[in-house]
Amino acid sequence: MNMSWWQQVCRAVDSQAAEQALQRQQQLTKPAGSLGQLERVAVTLAGLQGREKPRIAQPWIGLFAGDHGVVEEGVSAYPQAVTGQMLRNFVSGGAAISVLSRQLGAGLDVVDLGTAVALEPLPGVRHLQLGAGTGNFAREAAMTPAQCAAALQAGYDCVQRGVATGADLFIGGEMGIGNTTAAAALACALLQQPATALVGPGTGLDAQGVAHKATVIERALQLHAASLADPLAVLQHLGGFEIAALAGAYLGCAQQGVSALVDGFICSVAALCAVRLNPACRAWLLFAHCGAEPGHRLVLEALQAEPLLDLGLRLGEGSGAALAVPLLQLACALHGEMATFAEAAVSDRPA
């Protein structure tokens, strides 16, 4: 692919199918608008799938893992060895997203983009080895241009594998010690916000740890200020391998015509990166939940996103998005299987 594939045209939404779905919603045996957001998401999916009655039958979960050099600055409560240990847990079936993918009958594609602690080849994991984690962005760029491009491509390739299996919904997940720091730094740069507005406890920092994380991010923003002219440069200097892969996946979804269900804070920041790289991809993104990280709500507001759930989640891995899949499926079932007033011989309210 050409080196700026992410700027290529996104698939158009089928406005006729969306209009047909909207008309159907108005004829179902219920007061208009009484199913709230479930009605809106069914109409949205109709436009994305190009059919009046959408359905979600085969979700595909792409789980991207990578480590972060900024952990050297003491921004995480956990050691980086956990990233590799969790990769083993994902493919052995013991992680939350492993359980959820089994329950949903979803494909689970686990991609190791580069861990700080060397790993043996793990059955069921795609080892891309872009580096032993990113560079410490408090001191240097997180990624080289080549690493950033390769990570974006890894996300696109994951979506292609899903499409080949007949996937009709993509969920991106992430694993990487230190990635809430990278996500917060990216969001600060893209939204022109101070670190204190976006930094949270991540995997469990106390108030002092959160303040330190904010200080590290502010220092990094000053260090890279002259290099943050466009969203690709922001991603390269402040991002992570897995965040870039997520952004590439969301862009790939929009170009290949697959709906994407975005998970929590880190995935939402990756979605923000994707939208800044190619604004037309926004139409293909649905948002699963508003998580517990304080910056998540700001990112969702910037994306004009209406999340489906608010459960105080902060696990990552794509778990919140996986939890929202049954809600999407039920929205489609209600839309497609409820009777119309005419079919049920029920009186509608007078026009």
Taking only the tens place, the pLDDT of each residue in 239-279 is: 999 999 999 999 999 999 999 999 999 999 999 999 999 99
Question: What is the pLDDT at residue 118?
Answer: 92
Q: What are the distances in angstroms from CA 249 to CA 70, 94, 151, 246, 318?
A: 24, 25, 10, 5, 13
Spell out, as residue ranges, where the chain has pLDDT lower than 50.
none
Taking only the tens place, the pLDDT of each residue in 288-305 is: 999 999 899 999 999 999
| Cα(295)–Cα(197) distance, integer angstroms | 6
Give 15's contacts (C-beta < 8 A, 6+ positions apart): 47
**HEC sequence for 335-351:** HHHCCEHHHHCCCCCCC
User: Which domains, from first to last, does the chain contain?
Assistant: 59-327 (3.40.50.10210)
Write down the catalytic residue from 72, 317, 337, 343. 317
Question: What is the pLDDT at residue 349?
Answer: 77
Question: What is the pLDDT at residue 348?
Answer: 82
**What's the whole-number average pLDDT of the chain?**
96
| Cα(91)–Cα(120) distance, integer angstroms | 13
Contact 161, 307 (CB under 8 A): no
Question: What is the pLDDT at residue 204?
Answer: 86
**Distance separating the N- and C-terminal Cα atoms of the chain:** 54
Question: What is the pLDDT at residue 2?
Answer: 60
Asked if 72 is an active-site residue, the reply is no
For 1, counting Cβ atoms within 10 Å of its Cβ (0-12 exposed, 13-18 middle, 19+ buried), the class is: exposed
Question: What is the pLDDT at residue 350?
Answer: 77
Give 68's contacts (C-beta < 8 A, 6+ positions apart): 80, 133, 134, 142, 176, 177, 178, 179, 181, 182, 240
Joined together, the tokens standing for residue 326 give 């049954």
